[in-house]
Amino acid sequence: MLTCKHCDKEFKPSRKQKQTFCSILCYRASQKKPARFCKECNIEIVSKDAKKFCSKSCSGTYNNRKKMQNGWTHSPEAIEKIRKHAIENPRGWAKNPSLKGPGGSGRRTKDPAKWTTSVCEDCGTVHEHYKIRPKKYCSPECANKNKYHPNSTRKTRSIYKEFQMDSGSELEFAKLCDEHNIKWVKNSTIAYEYTNSKNEIRNYYPDFYLEEYDAWVEIKSKYYLREDDDLRWASVPKHEVIWSDNITLPLVITN
């Protein structure tokens, strides 16, 4: 019988070679080093190379504080030596002025071969962009103002009869209309103007248009209600909202 070096239990060796631990668990536990904590922030040190501090920032903060407490400061001679060393050994744009951008910034200058200009489709201003990334608008404000953007994600988006459905509820409504031989169009071009709560004029694109009944339908989820939804819906004549958790035919058809 042998005695385990970790748990002090007696065990019978399972092989001819000399064993010092009763199991692999005891061996692994014996290899673990005690936890080390940073002297500055008292956070456990994870790095194998670090000994006293978790980062260079903590090391510098701790050592500088200790030096200041002992009355240590840079002498004028040391400051002058550091300044001369920086001049004699420049780095970055100080070494290569071509890296220095306009206005004294440290950003690289634009490569004319990679950049081009376009005219904003909303405000008409000329803006720069990468050739490989064409941009129709000069800013997010112009892109989002009075423009139709599908309110969906790739996960819920689908194509049905050459129309893009922005959610599973819209797809369900379109199939329900087909079952009852009701003609419908998924709208992405016709917009109605309304004034929002900030007294700004905006455009609203209803989801579906029913040609035979000259009516508009909005498929809406109760989890995505917005502040100005009532103002949007009031701007459209013959408009009805159908909630996504209960897809049915609009009242203009059933009545």
Q: Is the confidence at residue 178, as pLDDT, over 80?
A: yes
Q: What is the mean pLDDT of residues 105-134?
A: 78
Place of tokens 């407490």: 69
Phi, psi of 131 (to 5 degrees): -65, -35
Q: How far apart are the first and last CA of the chain?
A: 91
Q: What is the mean pLDDT of residues 179-196?
A: 91
pLDDT of residue 17: 66
Distance CA 2, CA 22 (A): 8
Helix or strand or coil: residue 88?
helix
Place of tokens 């002992």: 70
Q: Is the confidence at residue 201, as pLDDT, over 60?
A: yes
| pLDDT tens column, 209-249 | 999 999 999 999 887 888 888 999 999 999 999 998 899 99
Give the domain ranges of the chain.
2-31, 115-144, 158-254
Distance CA 90, CA 230 (A): 63
| pLDDT tens column, 145-158 | 666 656 656 667 88
Place 172 in a pLDDT band, splitting at 50, 70 and 90: very high
Strand bridging mode 158-160 / 163-165: antiparallel
Q: What sign has the CA pseudo-torsion 141, 145, 150, 152?
A: positive
Supply the pTM of this predicted model: 0.45
Phi-psi label, residue 8: left if phi above 0, alpha if psi -120 to 50, beta otherwise:
left
Where in the chain does DSSP place strands (E)?
A: 2-3, 10-11, 115-119, 126-130, 158-160, 163-165, 184-186, 192-195, 201-204, 208-210, 215-220, 239-243
Q: Do residues 133 and 124 touch, judged by C-beta distance below 8 A?
A: no
Distance CA 216, CA 116 (A): 42
Helix or strand or coil: residue 15?
coil
| pLDDT tens column, 62-76 | 888 888 788 777 777
Distance CA 224, CA 153 (A): 14
